[in-house]
Amino acid sequence: MIKLRWVPQVEAWIFPLTLFVYVRKRKRVMMVIDEVRAMLKDYFDVLQSQDLAKFDKVFHPGSVLYSAQNGVVVVRPIDEYRNIVKGRESPQSRGFARMDEILMIDVMSPEMVLVKVRLQLFDHIMVDYLNLMKIDNQWRIVSKHFHQERTIT
C-alpha cells in the first residue's frame, strides 16, 4: 500500500504554478474569442450587405457549404455560393430586419474554432455551424453547415 503524505513546501510552489498556467491559457482563449467575434461581425455584415470584398476576406477560397433541404443533402463549393450572393439583392437593400446571435464559440486550438450562430437572412431564421481556421494570421471560414430553422411570417 502506498502512503501519501502532504508536503507543505511542494504545495507552496505547485498551486501558484497551476494558477499561472490556467490564467495564461484563459488569456489566450479569450484573445482567440475576441478575434473570432471581430471576424463574425464581418460575417454577419457580409450576409446582410453582400459586400464581396468582405466575403472574400471571411471565406477561405477552398471552403464548402453543406445543408440538407427537404431531405436532400446540398454540398456547395464557395465559388458557387459567391455567385449566388453576387447575383441577388441584399437583405439590407430590401429592408429586412437584422438579427445576429453568437450561440457558441468552441476554441479547439489557437488555430481552430467551431462557432454556432443564428441570424435572420431575408425572412428566414438560419442556424449556421462555422468551422474556422486561422490562416496567415486571419480567421477564415473553411466549412459551413447551415439550416433554415424557421420562416418569419
CATH number for the domain including 28?
3.10.450.50
Kindly list the strands in the beta sheet with 124-135, ordered across the sheet, starting from the edge strand earlier in the chain: 72-77, 59-69, 138-151, 124-135, 112-121, 100-109
Q: What is the CA radius of gyration of the chain?
A: 21
pLDDT value at 52 more than 60: yes
Query: 33: exposed, middle or buried (C-beta count within 10 Å: 0-12, 13-18, 19+)?
Result: middle
In a domain, 80, yes or no: yes
Residue 118 host element (H or E) = strand 112-121
Average of per-residue pLDDT values in the chain? 89
Query: For residue 68, is it within any domain?
Result: yes
Kindly tell me if the per-residue pLDDT of 21 is higher than 70. Answer: no
What is the span of the domain harbouring residue 144?
Answer: 8-151
Give the per-residue pLDDT at 153: 80
Asked if the model's pLDDT at residue 13 lies above 90, the reply is: no
What pLDDT does residue 86 have? 95
Q: What value does the mean pLDDT take over residues 24-31?
A: 84
pLDDT of residue 143: 98
Q: How far apart, in Å, are the Cα atoms of 139 and each of 36, 62, 85, 127?
A: 7, 14, 21, 20
Compute the distance between CA of residue 85 and CA of residue 10 in angstroms, rounded to an integer: 61
Q: What is the pLDDT of residue 26?
A: 81
Q: Is residue 17 domain-resident?
A: yes
The pLDDT of residue 130 is above 90: yes
Position 3 in a domain: no
Model-level pTM? 0.83
* 1 found inside a domain: no
In three-state secondary structure terms, 94 is: coil
Count of domains observed in the chain: 1
Q: Is residue 74 part of a domain?
A: yes
